[in-house]
Structure 1
Amino acid sequence: MVKLWQPVDWPAPKRVRAIYSLRQGGISQPPFDSLNLGLHVSDNPDAVLTNRAMLQGAAKLPQSPYWLNQVHSTTILDVSCTSDRETPTADAMTSRALSMPLAIMTADCLPVLLCDQQGDWIAAIHAGWRGLVDGIIEKTVAKYPGDPASLVAWLGPCIGPEAFEVGKDVRSQFLDASPEAASAFVEYREKYLANLPLLAQQRLASIGVMNVTFSHLCTYTDAASFFSYRRDGVTGRMASIIWLSD
């Protein structure tokens, strides 16, 4: 039987549940084959909704996840304070609500999941390089009412440091914010290879979040498991999903 998802392996409390989806086991046709979860990529909407329902059943999610219209912004939605299930435009979510899965879609960008050690607060972040530069991680952590040192973070599948080619302008934007970011870039063919997870870990450390787990999974090189926008152009989306159990 094809595996649709994997559990997130991190030191979170038991009442915090988290998974990430794989690309196999759905019904979408090429180039979205096959467990595409993104409605915004020109796939057949009925296929996408079927894929979402299949994942919900296979992973035993308590209900349909909360999905976002992600636009590389720093807009953060508190799901605890809304009952609106229309798809809002935002790139991060926080919640204290039980049994409300938060879903972040990616196909090279970095999914970041957060929770506190008590299992009372969770967050899900869509962290591409633009969001990282603009402070999406710092702004999300600022929504947490407690000490950031008590947070636990997971950095999910994304384009790896041996595949993410960027220009000098991208590197300059990170270095303008923090000289430490230089260690996350390696010169390559008059450009640079960027290490997204390291950049995220640096941003987390700068605000006191030290308990960070790296997935070490590369979307670009593992075509059997993951969609990759950089590799394929027109392609599907995976999801990283977190929720508080009863």
Structure 2
Amino acid sequence: MWIEPDWPAPPSIVALSTTRTGVAGFAGASEAPYGCFNLGDHVADHPAAVAENRDRLLASCGGLDRIAWLNQVHGTDIVRLEQRPNVVFAADASVTSEVGLGCGVLTADCVPVLFCRRDGSQVAAAHAGWRGLCAGVLANTVRAFNCPADELLAWIGPAISQANFEVGAEVYQAFQAEFRGPSSAEINSAFAPVVTKPGHYHADLYALAQAQLRGFGVGWVGGAKRCTFAESAQFYSFRRDGVTGRQLSLIYIKP
């Protein structure tokens, strides 16, 4: 009932993106408008429901001891995780080499990216809304690994599609001025003008993330190409619903 990458990661790496439909044998404890498997504890869902959903996810993941939850702020900070008492870090990405410690990011339209080294010794998860993506959260995550970029694999999880993500000219201009990695032509190709609304664009966050990762020399880049906005039965979408839950993209090293 979750989505797993089809990528050349070693067997010790477990990676997945949850959906709003729960895990095997458990549909979820959250009620509308958060139904059913909301994992975000910051969206006004009942705390007991979120806690149960999180506990059921943890129990469903073999070899996972705990998940390091983040207070995501649409920034570019990365936290290096070690086995330590539970602390919620203010950051938008995490990286670890600890076995059984999950790196995870919550999303409801933003781009989640899961990373691992080809040898399975390190993993990371990054949350990239358009602001964080433009400012360099993925660049910082790549740099946080103790290896050249060509030794990394990166999988882009479910996010809002270009057809459903309308932005103003300021977003287009920000990417042209600040975004590092892709060429100006690559950036331009990810913004389709809205014919009926001058100065507005449909932005392809997936394509921008993919182009940047490849531009940095990441060895393998792929993704789910699933739209959180369009697939309402499967995913939460803030842009579609406003008040809604969050799905989790998670990666860890199992024993």
Shorter-chain TM range is over 0.9
Distance 1:73 1:109, change over 3 A: same
- Partner residue, 2:35: 33
- Aligned counterparts of 2:11 and 2:66: Cα–Cα separation in 1: 21
- Aligned counterparts of 1:54 and 1:94: Cα–Cα separation in 2: 23
- Partner residue, 2:44: 42
- Partner residue, 1:197: 206
CA contact (8 A) 1:219 1:227 kept: yes
- Aligned counterparts of 1:6 and 1:101: Cα–Cα separation in 2: 16
Q: With structure 1 as the length reference, what TM-score do the two structures score?
A: 0.95
- Partner residue, 2:124: 123
CA contact (8 A) 2:16 2:249 kept: yes
CA contact (8 A) 1:61 1:101 kept: no
- Partner residue, 1:69: 71
- Aligned counterparts of 2:223 and 2:254: Cα–Cα separation in 1: 23
- Which range moved further: 185-194 or 217-226? 185-194
CA contact (8 A) 2:63 2:254 kept: no
- Partner residue, 1:220: 229
Deviations along 1:120-153, one digit per CA (max 9) or x if unpaired, are 1111000110011110011111111211011100
- Aligned counterparts of 2:217 and 2:60: Cα–Cα separation in 1: 36
CA contact (8 A) 1:36 1:48 kept: yes
2:249 to 221, 226, 240: 240
Aligned residues: 242
- Partner residue, 1:23: 20
CA contact (8 A) 2:152 2:220 kept: yes
- Aligned counterparts of 1:26 and 1:109: Cα–Cα separation in 2: 22
Where do 5+ consecutive residues of structure 1 fail to align? none
1:9 is displaced (CA, Å) by 2.1
Asked whether 1:14 is paired with 2:11, we answer: yes
- Partner residue, 2:192: 186
- Aligned counterparts of 1:117 and 1:58: Cα–Cα separation in 2: 25
- Give identity over the alignment, percent: 40
Deviations along 1:42-96, one digit per CA (max 9) or x if unpaired, are 111111000111122233352231100001011100003x614121110000011
Q: Secondary structure at the match of 1:101?
A: strand
Amino acid corresponding to residue 168 of structure 2 in structure 1: G
1:210 is displaced (CA, Å) by 4.1
- Aligned counterparts of 1:61 and 1:170: Cα–Cα separation in 2: 41
Deviations along 1:199-223, one digit per CA (max 9) or x if unpaired, are 0011112211141112110000000
Where do 5+ consecutive residues of structure 2 fail to align? 22-26
Asked whether 1:133 is paired with 2:120, we answer: no
CA contact (8 A) 1:151 1:209 kept: yes
- Aligned counterparts of 1:64 and 1:36: Cα–Cα separation in 2: 18
Q: Secondary structure at the match of 1:162?
A: helix
Distance 1:32 1:61, change over 3 A: farther
Runs of 4+ in 1 over 6 A off after TM superposition: none
- Partner residue, 2:112: 111
- Aligned counterparts of 1:152 and 1:127: Cα–Cα separation in 2: 17
- Partner residue, 1:57: 59
